[in-house]
Amino acid sequence: MGGAGFIFTGENDADIMHNSATINLNVLDACHKRSIKRIFYSSSACMYPAYNQQDADRPNCIESSAYPAEPDSEYGWEKLFSERLYLSYSRCYGLEVRIARYHNILVPRVLGPRREKAPAALCRKIALASDGDAIEIWGDGLQNPSFLYVSECIEGTLRLMRSGFHGPC
């Protein structure tokens, strides 16, 4: 999907919501028609209310904090909608659904400016800056993000898919 420079500007909201919802509706419809038994949905921590993550010392990402819903972006609203969509297919059609709410997945290569995660964005800004230039840093510097390397993400996803766990994690 991209990093904060893509998701949180507001410029891409319609495309993000349209494309993601369309993909998820089509995937679920195809799974239902073909009697697929188990499916994985990659959600996001962006579905949590923004105020849950504003205290850098005590971010709150437990399940009971997800509602009442108040995501910080249209991307977060789409993720929340799609979680509910997948869970509805589980209840109504018996589809075994596994949902993980990822935060920041680091990959060896980035998609380019505005699509990268914080470490790559900071490195790019520093590398492109001339001596004496200021670089733009988002936030107040007190954020405490979590990062997961892609190989660990794959391993965790495989374990989740093989488990009997139901519900978002």
Q: Could you list the active site residues?
A: 75
The answer to whether 74 touches 16, Cβ cutoff 8 Å, is yes
- Burial bucket for residue 115 (CB in 10 Å: 0-12, 13-18, 19+): middle
Query: What is the DSSP pairing of strand 105-106 with strand 167-168?
Result: unpaired
Which residues have a Cβ under 8 Å from the Cβ of 120 and sit 6 or more positions away?
106, 110
| 43 φ, ψ (degrees, to nearest 5) | -95, -160
The answer to whether 41 touches 82, Cβ cutoff 8 Å, is yes
Integer Cα distance of 17 and 74 in angstroms: 7
SS3 148: strand
Dig out the tokens for 5 from the structure: 């420079």
Dig out the tokens for 43 from the structure: 């959600």
